[in-house]
Structure 1
């Protein structure tokens, strides 16, 4: 269930467009939305005053653009480090989904540029919908879930079914990629669900909710294959599970090893040609 949505805004952009598109989905129309803008700390009082005024205008413009039921929308203007404030507010309102814009920076660039979205994804266990600046936000009809045996993938499936069950003409694409690190691409093949145990279970779950589903398999480098499949099938929204690799001892520190290492979620969020919803297992 997605009952509470946190939309982090920095100026009218793709994140607002994504939420406006999602607002047409019947299951989302019952959700409450909190629109957040964070004013960073500045040295002079004059500069801070200007930023507060600009922040108020950004919030007002976002709410006017979204044109949602006023009883279901609230706004927060807060001062602080944007990365930390987004995480704090998400916890305060117990958000079921965080929506943020993303510049689509690669891992090292994200670290060096102090990427807000990358930081929030590392430290929050809440589902996070990232919308890159260079993609076209489309009406959500065709949703893809990258399936494996993980609890995170099953959580993605539940979110996808929540969104799709009331969408007329909606379609669920279930994809399972066999890892082949040699980089040799296989043909993307549509199969009957009973031929793949992972997809069979997901297909049966979709059938319970009356959601039309199709199953596809391929092999190769998982990130590349998932992005290729999403592009070929003209996917409107891609859902991908991500294991919880945050440090168990220092939950307040970004997992630098993960950021610098090989990460499926990082590859997909940077290279996918559609919005990407990343979800972890529930803490």
Structure 2
């Protein structure tokens, strides 16, 4: 039914559960998995030196790549190959864009991520993805 699944991760426990669910699904159905991490563009204080801005972006990229590498290692333990995507910008918009570009048939993500109001309600990113996506979205709790 779903040959291509896109999993959104952000380092939260919920996104880890979402990844594990997708890997279990892939094992049972020989599904291809894409894993995406989207980093919000940081707020840059006025007057911040360019070298500091470059360092900030480099650290952000390194952290995102580390998170994706951890996902790949987990997938490798299950003998599943994944595609990794690191994006910046609005997380919901980037997740939906990647799902459409890659012809993914299902998006899996956690109900809450690492946002400021975690624990209070369905995460704003997951809520927005469910509204914008043209494919089904599975929210893991």
TM-score range, shorter chain: 0.7 to 0.9
2:107 maps to which of 98, 109, 121? 98
Name stretches of at least 5 consecutive residues in structure 1 with no aligned partner.
133-283
Contact 1:19/1:66 (<8 A) preserved? no
The 5 A counterparts of 1:183-262 are none
Give distance in 2, aligned partners of 1:21 and 1:73: 13
Instruction: Report what 2:94 is aligned to.
Output: 85
Alignment: residue pair count: 123
Q: Render the CA deviation track for 1:136-177: whole Å, top value 9, x for unaligned.
A: xxxxxxxxxxxxxxxxxxxxxxxxxxxxxxxxxxxxxxxxxx
Asked if structure 1 preserves the Cα contact closer than 8 Å seen for 2:5 and 2:22, the reply is: no
Q: Deviations over 1:29-73 (max 9, x none)?
A: 1x2111111121112332221110000000000011122556x42
Alignment of 1:1-283 (within 5 A): 1-11=1-11, 13-25=16-28, 28-29=29-30, 31-42=31-42, 43=44, 44-67=53-76, 69=79, 72-103=81-112, 109-110=121-122, 115-132=124-141
Task: State TM-score, norm by structure 1.
Answer: 0.40
Name the structure, 1 or 2, with higher relative contact order (CA <8 Å, separation 6+): 2
State the partner residue of 2:48. Answer: none
1:78 shift after superposition = 1.2
Q: Secondary structure at the match of 2:27?
A: coil
CA distance in 1, matches of 2:132, 2:108: 15
SS of aligned partner of 1:13:
helix
**C-alpha RMSD of the superposition:** 2.3
Q: Which runs of 4+ in 1 moved over 4 A?
A: none
Q: Distance in 2 between matches of 1:78 and 1:65?
A: 21
Please identify which structure carries the higher helix content. Answer: 2
